[in-house]
Structure 1
């Protein structure tokens, strides 16, 4: 599979590129800066320079032409304010979907966040609340489209080594998860077309990744 990854220089995205390349897929890292080309090519990805905050849908469609799937793993990043949480975590996610529709790329996997489905509780940090609202809006936008989408909501992200075992379901208890395990789950989801139309929460757990992904698409008894 040829898979375009928005936010291609981010930690999860780079781990995903390495995971996909190891599986024999062709990751295409959409990056904002020429200075990131060497990093992502060393991960096994093709590099395409594309700033989603300064592009239009046709630019995106051209960048992802020929892809079998797209993954939105971009984020405004630490230190950014509420305005950029909206422009990236909502606006860029919607723009990627616009481009996918133009390019005829039906498969779209969105990396969201636990807590995106409800209004942030009183006392939540203003910028983090803006981030959760932006993620919630991006989910709502994607769910309204005629695309084969899957939404993955990880818990708190860590830089711990991959454990290879997770909790993955429509609802799981709050918790954390290594970014490397998120990447493994995303790769498995991309290769599981029956996950289309599912919203999945994700934390560390005891079930091997492939088994966890298989379980969410098994028909109920």
Structure 2
């Protein structure tokens, strides 16, 4: 049986240095790549479109806003989310999609704890990111009776009907943990697969923990106990 197609979604903001290669690589695995761009000023949307992607421009900042804006535009049965910075291994796309296509999962997330990371070590900023991620994941496991290893990775795939049923609300990267918590609390099947996280190809992470740490804590409490 020929596998049915799925959509790959790439949220972007000022990723001109990497977006062309990311789109071209992703198009090897899926017939449609949707780039959801949030107010880029470096030509990212134009470059993505020229590389073969469908582009959706969102007049709001935040990865969560980009992901939520993509949902009504999805026409396939499954969707895969991948970051634009080159840190996720596109060769692992089939590994994330396979459990969905086999009907054994509703939500598949890549795990950096299982696959290793070249990014989450080496500085105090990275140490606190890793420590915070581990704490959040432990809280989720305790509350939901689960045993997952990574709740923050942006490399994940879902059934589109399940994604819509999650009724996502977060505007920033806290949407990753929201997806995980709501998947588990609503009884959907969550599966992890190992995938190595590489250092981003260009520039620095846009996440500044000093500015957003409290939003991670608030979102954790909101969805674990709300």
| TM-score interval, smaller chain | 0.3 to 0.5
Q: Which has the higher contact order (CA 8 A, sep 6+)?
A: 2
The structure carrying a bigger strand percent of its residues is: 1
Using the size of structure 2 for normalisation, the TM-score is 0.39
User: TM-score, normalised on structure 1?
Assistant: 0.40
